[in-house]
Chain A
Amino acid sequence: MTKITFFICTLVGSILLFAEPYVAQAEQAGSSPAAQTANSSPASAVDPTKNGEVLFATSCGWCHSNGGREAGRCPKLAGSTRSDDFIINRIKNGKEGRMPAFGQTFNDAQIQNILHYIRSLQP
Chain B
Amino acid sequence: MRKQSRNIAFAAALVAGTMLGTTASMAQMVDSKRLETADRDAKDWLMYHGSYKDYNYSGLGQINTSNVKNLEVAWMHFPGRTTRGMQSMPLAADGVVYYSGSYSRLFALDGATGKVLWTYFPELDDALIARQTHSPYNRGIAMGDGKIYVGTVDGRLIAVDMKTGKPVWDTKLINSQKLTVGFTGAPLFVRGKVIIGSQGGEWPVQGTIFAVDAATGKEIWSFSTTGGTEEARKTWGNDTWRVGGGGGWMPGTYDAETNTIWWGTANPSPLYDWSPNWQTDGARPGINLYVTSVIALDPDTGKLKFYHQELPHDNWDFDSAIGEFVMIDRGGKHYMVHPNKSGFIFVYDRANAKVENVWPLVHNYNFVKGIDPKTGELIGRRDFSAGPQSEPLCPAIAGGVSWNSGSYSPKTGLYYKIGNEWCITLEVVKTTPITEPQVQLNIGANFKMAPPPSGTIYGHLDARDPITGKLKWEVKFPQPPLASVLSTAGNLVFVPDARGILHAYNAETGTELWSHDDGIGHNGGIISYMAGNKQYIAVEAGFGGLVGDDYGSMFGEPWKSMPRDAGALIVYSLK
Contacts and interface: CB of A to CB of B under 8 A. Distances in A.
B301 interface: no
A97 interface: yes
Interface residues of B, number: 39
B131 A61 contact: no
A74 B549 contact: yes
A34 interface: yes
Interface stretch (A5-13, A50-58, A81-89): A50-58
Contact of B553 (A33, A36, A72): A72
Interface size class of A (residues with CB under 8 A): 35 or more
A104 B564 contact: no
B304 interface: no
Contacts of B504: none
B445 interface: yes
A25 B132 CA distance: 20
B557 to A, nearest CB: 14
A37 interface: yes
Interface stretch (B24-32, B426-434, B530-538): B426-434
B16 to A, nearest CB: 55
Given A33-B440, A70-B448, A72-B448, A57 B429 contact: yes
A100 B130 contact: yes
Contacts of B436: 31
A58 B133 contact: no
A58 B443 contact: yes
Interface in A56-99: 56-59, 61-63, 65-68, 70-74, 93-94, 96-98
Interface in B397-450: 425, 427, 429-436, 438-449
B435 A59 contact: no
B133 A61 contact: no
B131 A100 contact: yes
A67 B432 contact: no
B387 to A, nearest CB: 11
A40 interface: yes
**In terms of DSSP, what is the predominant structure of the interface of chain A?**
loop
A105 interface: yes
B202 interface: yes
Given A32-B438, A32-B440, A100-B133, A61 B445 contact: yes
Contacts of A67: 427, 446
Contacts of A72: 448-449, 549-550, 553
Contact of A94 (B130, B202, B549, B553): B130
B444 A62 contact: no
A73 B433 CA distance: 26
A29 to B, nearest CB: 9
A70 B447 CA distance: 10
Interface of A: 31-34, 36-37, 40-41, 53-54, 56-59, 61-63, 65-68, 70-74, 93-94, 96-98, 100-102, 104-105
13 contacts: A33-B432, A33-B442, A36-B433, A56-B446, A59-B441, A62-B133, A62-B202, A63-B133, A65-B446, A72-B549, A73-B546, A73-B553, A97-B544
Interface of B: 83-84, 130-133, 136, 202, 204, 270, 425, 427, 429-436, 438-449, 544, 546, 549-550, 553, 564-565
Given A58-B443, A58-B444, 9 more contacts: A34-B440, A36-B434, A57-B427, A59-B443, A61-B446, A62-B443, A66-B427, A96-B130, A97-B136
